[in-house]
Every structure is written in C-alpha cells, then in structure tokens.
Amino acid sequence: MGVILFLLLVSSLIRGNASSQACLDATGSIPEYEPISETDHPGTMIFNVSKNSPVNISYSINSTYRSVLQTYFRDFQNDSLFTLYLNKSLDLEELYNILGVQFESIEFSFCDTHLRKSYLIIKPENEFHPFINMSGNLNIQENTPIGTVVYSLLERTSDKDRPVSETFLYSLVSNRDSPFRIDRASSGEIILNSSLDYDSGQRTYLLNISVTDSGDDKAKISYASLRINVTDVDDQGPQYDYPDCVAPCLIPEYTAIIDLSYKGQLNVQPASIRARDLDTLHFPIAYSFYDDSSGGSSSNDNSGFFRIDKSTGTVYQLKPASEALWPTKRLVVIAEEIGSSQSSAKAILMVRVRTRDPTLNDTSVVKPDRSTPTERDKSLLAAVIAISVLMGLILIAAAIVIFLMQRRHRKMVSPEDTKSEPSTEEEEIHSERSEEDRNVLPTRAKTMEKDLITSVSNPLIDPLFLNRPLPKRGAQLEPLHLKDTGIGTNNTTKKKKKSRRRFKKKENEIFDGTKDYNMEADPKFYESPDKSKIKRSARSMKTPTEHIVVQNDNVEYVD
C-alpha cells in the first residue's frame, strides 16, 4: 500500500513539473519590463506574445492590493497567442485617493512556479497646474528691516499630480519699482529689498507671482496675486503748529508780554502753543515745563509763577511779576506723546515785563489769548443756536395756526347770509335776478295774485272732457283733467347748488312761458310743440348742458 502511494506522488510531481515547464516554455517571449502611461485609455494592449505550446498561461499580481489592481487588467489567449490589455486607465491620482499609496510599478508572476516575473512601469503625466493658496492680505510695519523674509510661497503651494513635483519655480511679474524681490526661484521667499515709509511713501503694493511645477517642456504655470499693506508705527515725534515754520520745526520760540500786576491767561504770540502727532496714529499730547535748574525735571508749575494746562498747552500766570525781580522769564515747554515711543519736542516761551524790558514800547497791551474759542464759548454758541432754531420753529407753527384759523373763518356764513338755499327751480330763477328785476317784484306779485284768484274761480278744464256724454245719476264722476301750468323739467336729478355771489350781471333771460312778458309776442314760441329755456351757469358762460322743457298749452291732448 505504501508503495502505491509513493508511486502516485512521484507521478503527480512529474506531471506538475512537466506542466510548469510547458508554461515556462510558453512564456518565453514575455518582456521583463514593460512601460505604460497613466493616461493610456482602456483597451490599450500591454504586450502580445506568441506561445511555444498550447498550454494556458496563468498569472497573478504580487501586491497587498491584489484584489483592487486585478480589476485594471484582462487577458486573451489561444493555442498560439497571449495578450494582456488594460481594463481601465492606471490613473495614479485615482489610485492614491482610493488606496493612499503612491504606485510606480506593478509586479506580475507567470505560471504556477512563479519563476517568470514581469514589471509594469507606470509613467506619470503632468496633468494639473500648481496652486498657491493666498489667504487674505499681508500687513507689514513700515519699520521692517531690509532683507526680512516677509512671505513664504513654498509652504502654500500644492499640486494634484502624483507624484508631487519636488521643484517649483517662482518669479515676480512686472516687479518694477517694487521694494520686494525673490532671491532664489525655488525657495519661494519674498524678501524686503528697500525701506518702507507709511507717512510719505506708498502704502499698498500688489505683487503678481508666477509658479511653474517643473522644468521640462510639459511644465504648467499658474499665477497669483498678493496684496501687501504697509502699516504705520509711532516713528515720528510731535511738532508745534508755529506760523511760517518749515517742517521739521525744531525749537520754536513764543513770546508773552505782561504788566507788573497782571495775573491770568497769557497772550502768547505769534500763536497759541499747540503740538500734534505727525503719525496717523494721532496719539494725544501732554504739555509740561522743563526745569534746567532741577536736573532736567518736568512739571506743570514753574516756581509758583506760571502753570501750563497739561491737555491744551494754555499758560497761566499765578502771581504778579511785582513779586520777582526778573525783567524776562525764559520757560521751556515740553510736548510729549502719550504713546509707545513717548517721543517729545521742545519750545521756548519768553515772558517779558513791559516796564522792565527797555526793548518794549508803551503800546503793548496785555490781553488773554482769544485766538481760539474756549470750551465755554463753544457751549454758549451751541446754546444760542439751539434757542434760535427753537424760536424759529415756534414762529413757523404759530403762522400755520393763524393761517388755518383765517381760512376756516372765511368759510363760515355771516348772520345776514343765513337765508335758505332755493328749494325749487322757480325760487332759484328768482334768486338770480338782477337788481333791476327786484325793483318790479311788487307789481308782478300783484299780477300773479289776480291770476291765482281767477284760476281758482274758473279752473281750466280739459276741452276733450267737455265733449264726452254726461254720466248717469248715481255714477261716479271721472276725475277732472286739469291743465298743468307748472314748470316741468326733463332732468330729475338733484341739481348742484348755485354760487351765493350776488349782483352778478347776467344776460337777458329767454322767455319760457311761465312769467310775465312785457315785450312783443313771439309767434314761433306758441307754434312750437315744446318750449325750452336754456339754463345757464351762474359761474361760467360755457355751452349749456341742461334745459327746462314746458309743454305748449295751445296743443291739443290726444288720449
């Protein structure tokens, strides 16, 4: 039994060695190194070899990521050929994003014995442009020393290509009159080449930068801009506002003339003592006296005779000059910035006594300095302006109220004009009569009264009614058809009230058949079926729009 097992093992080994040998014989023409580009398209043939025997060629990928890499390849073989193809592009950037590994080559093993190996070399391609991450602006102080590295570009440059280029070349584009430079193209360091001055020079610089990812013919270039702002520092001391003093005004000299008995604010000439910060930081200024006799100490009080206001620089005399013997007093004023540098400036104030100094004339008058308004003056001026504005508003409001009251009073009706408005058209017509018509009203009233009495005694009966047969006894009589002598109109809408203006001259009215007519008769008026009176407006003489229509009494009625 053991002999049989031994014989079977030996025969399998012989068959395996024979199969491996046949596979090796078939792969004899497979290259050991084969290059391929990462941008080659799927379906690209890697190599195509002829087989020495019809045995199938087996292969595998020697990598930890075998399962992923195997999907990038496929093969085709028959009895005489073996071909290896790309199943998808070997994109190095994609492989790095998926596996986190930078591949340079892939190792293949052919046949079961793995004695035949082939290396697929992946050639990278420059596909992407470099990128400089410029975040915000760069601020540098004006006192930055020359030669200082103000910005580093290398640490802010990136490239999506794999492997990443180890060399980037930088340069400044259109760098004329710029205080910055790049010494070494590969360093990416921007260096200050000349001094900066915020107060008298340029305050903003815009640098155009170019970066190249490699030095070959396929290099890609990108551009970026960097804005550099120069900031101010406290590098200048205060300066006095002295008339006709060309900057820098080193030590200006002021003068004040006093009497022996004078006390109070000094009238300093040629201008008040004022200093300002030349920097844009505008630090406040503190004023004091500088005493040479006390070892250079500063104080707001000078021997009890003079005092200087720390904030405004106003000088006051506390005691009269009669208590001292000096004809002239020399005071040193210090103006010091309340800032980081605490720089200061000096000025001289010469106080002269008129009766003791022979160089002075008698016309000199001591007056306090009023060249600039004090805080009290400003407050009083503001109060006066506010009161003036308030009084003006009150006057305007009063004028508006008076105007509205007068306008309302005009609209009110006086007692003598309390008559009621005309309620009928007849009254309206009579209200429009002229003064001449009013003189004949009594005569017309008597005539109308007689007509009224006659019409009551002899009523006007419809002639058609008289021709009808008399009704029988006991029958109800038909109503009498009396003639309507009133005034009718074809417009039943409410009329707009007339103007109340009196004594307005009117044109002669057109007779409408309802009033007394003293002139000659008009035959056409009686022949016309309808008679109308044009009703004219009391306010305008425009084309009339309404008419009063009166039926002709002479026309027979037809049932």
Q: Tell me the per-residue pLDDT of 220-257, one tens digit each, with 9 for 90 and over.
A: 899 999 999 999 888 888 889 888 887 677 889 999 99
Kindly state the helix (H) or strand (E) to which residue 256 belongs, with its residue range: strand 253-258
User: Residue 300 in contact with residue 289, Cβ under 8 Å?
Assistant: yes
Pull the structure tokens for residue 545: 């729009």
Distance CA 244, CA 543 (A): 85
Distance CA 345, CA 239 (A): 7
Q: List Cβ neighbours of 336 (8 Å cut-off, separation of 6 or more).
A: 238, 285, 286, 288, 342, 343, 344
Q: What pLDDT is recorded for position 141?
A: 92
What are the CA-CA distances from residue 381 to residues 163, 307, 376, 377 (Å)?
78, 28, 9, 6
- H helices of 289-431, where? 375-411, 425-431
User: Residue 168 in contact with residue 130, Cβ under 8 Å?
Assistant: yes
Write out residues in the chain with pLDDT < 70, as ranges.
1-28, 112-115, 215-216, 247, 292-303, 361-376, 411-526, 528-559
Sheet holding 73-77, edge to edge: 45-50, 81-86, 73-77
Q: What pLDDT is recorded for position 5?
A: 43
Q: What pLDDT is recorded for position 357?
A: 77
Q: What pLDDT is recorded for position 375?
A: 66
**CA end-to-end distance (rounded Å), the chain:** 155
User: Residue 110 in contact with residue 59, Cβ under 8 Å?
Assistant: yes
Distance CA 21, CA 17 (A): 6
| Residues comprising the chain, all counted | 559
User: Residue 553 in contact with residue 485, Cβ under 8 Å?
Assistant: yes
- Which of 353, 282, 273, 294 has the alpha carbon at shortest distance from 320? 353
The identity of residue 191, as a single letter, is I
- Which of 308, 336, 316, 317 has the alpha carbon at shortest distance from 240? 336
- Which of 509, 514, 517 has the alpha carbon at shortest distance from 536? 509
Q: What pLDDT is recorded for position 341?
A: 76
User: Residue 280 in contact with residue 199, Cβ under 8 Å?
Assistant: yes
User: Residue 236 in contact with residue 342, Cβ under 8 Å?
Assistant: no
R_g of the chain, CA atoms, integer Å: 61
Beta-bridge partner residues of 239: 276
Q: Is 406 helix (H, G, I), strand (E, B) or coil?
A: helix
Q: What pLDDT is recorded for position 147?
A: 92
Q: Is the pTM of this model over 0.75?
A: no
Pull the structure tokens for residue 284: 């406040």
Q: What pLDDT is recorded for position 49?
A: 82
Q: What pLDDT is recorded for position 287?
A: 94
